[in-house]
Chain A
């Protein structure tokens, strides 16, 4: 998919995608800024600008896999989305290079798209035929783009072969020379796409979303993480990390890019978060970007520290809905479990795909609101707390060689979802019982401790649980005392008689037991005597 060597658009950012360079070859290196969609355009015109050969594997071995999964749904979308010329992103070089990039050439790309998505979208060799640049870029880029394309470009048509190309081009162009894998556009689009699966409802990003999701997922899986392609400038999220870089690149490409970049809040450069051009990010929306940064920050945190804690900390600050925008800082133990879960969800989605997804989700949520990023499932429209990828990771922690059936994974995802929901619901009723409007960690802790027998150290605060002496009724105590007395008395030779006396009265039952007890010592006593 990579861009035709000619177009520099694809020139994969030298840094980003080494494989791209190989594939997209020529153009890519010089296209760090990707502002040179034009080069790509000629290639793109060839309609499948991305020489599939190159891209498929060298670049993103992962892409094809991931993208194939997701891009498909996206492809059709992406294609349509790609109205704008696809800027020759370094990553995209394989894809973008072909037509979109060159044609769209970053310059022309309407800023709406995302400012020069220099999406270096890793030409993912996967299913998308070079034709649709969209497929290429979208997957890698697509995931990134997915978010990017939102404005319509993203169409990260992961595999939108053929048809996608024109669209891709457009989308790409929209992305505009995002020097870096349409960091801007891609990131936003990606995010959108990433989130798309989770939030099908987002109208804004719907077009992008499916793509973004596909892209994200594919991208995340494939490229972002591996290839520099994914490096797309901080995907979607307000290209914080790479804003500077992107800006420069973008600015090269297009003047409007520069403007965009600045607007975006810094997006924590997650390892592979495609760095969306700041411009595109801006367009996307500041909020999402913030969220992304928060997310990225948060995602980073979980990775560094306990995911839950980090998440919770960030979450605690915001309602679960807003986990996107949560500041990376951890808030110690004030997080409600719910928040943690929300965070988890958000992060969970991200984790498997790491930055890409997180970003995409953020992107999608931008205008939308912070929909908790449900598990990223490229094709599944419903929201899930956790993604299958997370299930895989968890299982690998238990046994690296273990494999689960797909149905089992589905069930586990459902179980996780139900668990979170039930715990949150009950905790909310506890909070209400407490006459409070805010759900706090103690509500969740109490529920888990009492009903699930789960104690979570590190969240309970400063109180020590005091001991409750076992409460006994007065009558019960009297009876117990009587039994003891009768037992003591039974040891004397008169135990039998005492036992008999004790039998009558309230101590009927105890007396029987004592009688039994007495029986043996009596017999023993008799034997001795």
Chain B
């Protein structure tokens, strides 16, 4: 159904004539390696079954896809997709929401630290 261009094995656009009907061919095993480790961390076997990993990956991809679609629906009024849209979607799930805010704040801190680090380096460089 999709013609895959040679350079894009994972996705294929049906054609520009169908504006929101393009279906993308999914690449399997995108999260395979990481998921195996995560599953092990949650109690599975160190080498989980490939079918299990494939199923979990399906679940993850479906969840992400669904979430992005909903966020886009919300953001289309404003025009741009922002982080707040995603936070709005998980507002009912407190653990997730808190974890998300924590990660975002951590990200900010790291950015600040890097920025300060770079500035220090510049100072040192100029000082020399």
A residues with a Cβ closer than 8 A to B are 305, 332, 455, 457-458, 460, 462-470
Residues 40-76 of chain B, each 1 if its beta carbon lies under 8 Å from chain A, else 0: 0000000000010011001101100110110011001
Q: Is B58's CB under 8 angstroms from A460's CB?
A: yes
Q: Which residues of A contact B76 (CB under 8 A)?
A: 469-470
Give the contacts of B13-32 with A (CB-CB under 8 A). 19-26, 28
Q: Which residues of A contact B25 (CB under 8 A)?
A: 462-464
Number of residues in B with C-beta < 8 Å to the partner?
24
A466's partner among B22, B61, B73 (CB-CB below 8 A) is B22
CB-based nearest B residue for A465: B65
Enumerate 15 A-B pairs (CB-CB under 8 Å) in ascending A order: A332-B51, A457-B59, A458-B54, A458-B59, A462-B25, A462-B26, A464-B24, A464-B61, A466-B21, A466-B22, A467-B20, A467-B69, A467-B72, A469-B19, A469-B72
For the complex, give the distance between the alpha carbons of A467 and B76 in Å: 12
Q: Which residues of B contact A305 (CB under 8 A)?
A: 51
For the complex, give the distance between the alpha carbons of A465 and B54 in Å: 18
For the complex, give the distance between the alpha carbons of A305 and B23 in Å: 31
CB-based nearest A residue for B18: A466
Q: By DSSP majority rule, is chain B's interface helix, strand, loop, or mixed?
A: helix
Q: Which residues of B contact A468 (CB under 8 A)?
A: 20-21
How many A-B pairs fall under 8 Å by CB? 48
Q: How far is the CB of A480 from chain B (nearest CB, A)?
A: 8
CB-based nearest B residue for A470: B76
CB-based nearest B residue for A332: B51
Given the contacts A464-B23, A467-B68, A458 and B58 also touching, CB distance less than 8 Å = yes
CB-based nearest A residue for B54: A458
Q: Which residues of A contact B66 (CB under 8 A)?
A: 455
Given the contacts A463-B25, A463-B26, A470-B73, A457 and B62 also touching, CB distance less than 8 Å = yes
Q: How far is the CB of B89 from chain A (nearest CB, A)?
A: 14
Q: Which residues of B contact A332 (CB under 8 A)?
A: 51
Q: Is A464's CB under 8 angstroms from B55's CB?
A: no
Q: How far is the CB of A461 from chain B (nearest CB, A)?
A: 8
Q: Which residues of A contact B24 (CB under 8 A)?
A: 463-464, 466
Q: Which residues of B contact A470 (CB under 8 A)?
A: 73, 76
| Complex A-B, nearest 9 residue pairs according to Cβ-Cβ distance, in ascending order | A457-B59, A468-B20, A464-B24, A457-B58, A458-B55, A462-B26, A464-B26, A467-B69, A463-B23
Q: Which residues of B contact A466 (CB under 8 A)?
A: 20-24
Q: Is B20's CB under 8 angstroms from A462's CB?
A: no
For the complex, give the distance between the alpha carbons of A419 and B19 in Å: 36
CB-based nearest B residue for A461: B26
Interface centre among A458, A468, A470 (most CB of B within 10 A): A458
Q: Which residues of B contact A462 (CB under 8 A)?
A: 25-26, 28
CB-based nearest B residue for A472: B76
Given A457-B55, A470-B76, list of 9 further CB < 8 A pairs? A458-B58, A463-B24, A463-B26, A464-B23, A464-B24, A464-B61, A466-B22, A467-B20, A470-B73
Q: Which residues of B contact A458 (CB under 8 A)?
A: 54-55, 58-59
For the complex, give the distance between the alpha carbons of A455 and B62 in Å: 9
Q: How far is the CB of A463 from chain B (nearest CB, A)?
A: 5
Q: Which residues of A contact B51 (CB under 8 A)?
A: 305, 332
CB-based nearest B residue for A306: B55
Q: Which residues of B contact A464 (CB under 8 A)?
A: 23-26, 61, 65
Q: Is B58's CB under 8 angstroms from A469's CB?
A: no
Q: Which residues of A contact B54 (CB under 8 A)?
A: 458
Q: How far is the CB of A246 from chain B (nearest CB, A)?
A: 34
For the complex, give the distance between the alpha carbons of A455 and B60 in Å: 13
Q: How far is the CB of A445 from chain B (nearest CB, A)?
A: 11
Q: Which residues of A contact B72 (CB under 8 A)?
A: 467, 469
Q: Which residues of A contact B68 (CB under 8 A)?
A: 467
For the complex, give the distance between the alpha carbons of A463 and B54 in Å: 14
Interface centre among B21, B54, B58, B66 (most CB of A within 10 A): B58
Q: Which residues of A contact B1 (CB under 8 A)?
A: 463
For the complex, give the distance between the alpha carbons of A101 and B21 in Å: 71
For the complex, give the distance between the alpha carbons of A469 and B81 in Å: 13
Q: How far is the CB of B61 from chain A (nearest CB, A)?
A: 7
Q: Which residues of A contact B69 (CB under 8 A)?
A: 465, 467
For the complex, give the distance between the alpha carbons of A464 and B72 in Å: 16
